[in-house]
């Protein structure tokens, strides 16, 4: 199956989460492809971002494709862990690692 | 040194208010704690702008920021309806994501990451104080 990569900018919060949600949902809608969300340039995720991760997870499940995250920094990993997202989303250090694992 | 910001009106102004606060010198200077503080600011400011003034009228929010070598304290004061965010029901983070409802994760993170949180309703104002201890890495 094809794999698409969504590259996140430096922050994912209430100032841009609606826009990013639309972009990610469009990628999932385009066709049967797994989706890697790359956070290697991202230093900040707020609850508005978490909300979109949750929607992405549900949408991928419904479509029957895999989705995972790569390049999370320490703070974002901790946020994921406090939210209990780390038990369900798989994290990889780099996009290449993610591609190899889910591709 | 204590700094006080006054925002009025707050309706529809969350992003502007957040932008001002996360650029405050005392907040920016907390390096290791910065993301937790930024998240707390986004969460608490958004709550006030969305829910504190249900009948409209603009509303106000005052924010005090005080920092010394040991800790940073932020105090959020609004004249809206009484609301104690610490009494909010927190989400069960063991529930699989496919069965999760949205919401509550921001305040959960704030509660976990701050060292102290205190709420009071005084003279018709909600006063929420959060305190984060600083380390040598901040």
DSSP string, B48-114: IIIII-TT-S---EEEEEEE-SSEEEEEEEE-SS---GGGSPPP-TTS-GGGPPS--HHHHHHHHH-
User: Rounded distance, CA B109 to CA A78, Å?
Assistant: 9
Q: Which residues contact A78 (CB under 8 A, 6 or more apart)?
A: none
Cβ contacts of B23 on chain A, cutoff 8 Å: none
How much is the average pLDDT of B29-35? 94
Peptide linkage before B9 cis (omega within 30 of 0): yes
How much is the average pLDDT of B90-119? 92
Average pLDDT over chain B, rounded to an integer: 95
pLDDT digits (tens, 9 = 90+) for B6-31: 999 999 999 999 999 999 999 999 99
Considering only CB atoms, B96 lies closest to which of A43, A51, A88, namely A88
- ipTM for the whole predicted complex goes beyond 0.85: yes
Contact A79 B18 (CB under 8 A): no
List, for chain A, all residue ranges whose pLDDT scores fall below the cut of 70.
none
pLDDT digits (tens, 9 = 90+) for B108-124: 999 999 999 999 999 99
The pLDDT value recorded for residue B1 is 79
Instruction: Note the residue count of chain A.
Output: 103
How much is the average pLDDT of B67-87? 96
* Predicted model pTM: 0.92
Distance from the A44 Cα atom to the nearest Cα atom in chain B, whole angstroms = 7
Letter string b/e over residues B45-78, b meaning 16 or more CB atoms within 10 A of that residue's CB: bbbbbeebbeeeeebbbbbebbbeeebbbbbbbb
List residues in chain A touching B: CB distance below 8 A: 13-15, 43-44, 46-48, 50-51, 54-55, 57-58, 61, 75-76, 79, 82-85, 87-89
């Amino acid at each position: 199956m094809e794999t698409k990569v969504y590259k996140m900018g430096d922050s994912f919060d209430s100032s841009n989460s609606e826009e990013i949600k639309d972009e990610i949902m469009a990628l999932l809608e385009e066709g049967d492809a797994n989706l890697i969300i790359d956070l290697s340039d991202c230093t900040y995720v707020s609850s508005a971002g978490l909300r979109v991760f949750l929607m992405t997870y549900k949408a991928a499940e419904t479509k029957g494709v895999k989705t995972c995250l790569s390049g999370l920094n320490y703070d974002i990993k901790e946020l994921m862990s406090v939210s209990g997202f780390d038990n369900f989303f798989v994290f990889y250090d780099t996009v290449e690692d993610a591609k190899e694992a889910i591709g | 040194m204590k700094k006080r910001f006054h925002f009025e009106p707050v309706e529809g102004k969350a992003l502007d208010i957040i932008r001002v606060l996360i650029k405050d010198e005392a907040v920016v200077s907390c390096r290791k704690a910065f993301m937790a503080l930024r998240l707390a600011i986004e969460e608490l400011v958004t709550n006030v702008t969305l829910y504190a003034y249900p009948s409209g009228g603009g509303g106000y929010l005052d924010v005090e920021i005080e920092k010394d070598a040991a800790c940073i304290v932020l105090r959020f004061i609004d004249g809206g309806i009484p609301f104690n965010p610490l009494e909010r029901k927190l989400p069960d983070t063991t529930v699989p994501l496919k069965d999760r409802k949205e919401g509550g994760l921001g305040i959960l993170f704030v509660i976990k990451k701050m060292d102290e949180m205190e709420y009071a309703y005084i003279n018709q104002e909600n006063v929420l104080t959060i305190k984060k201890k600083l380390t040598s890495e901040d």
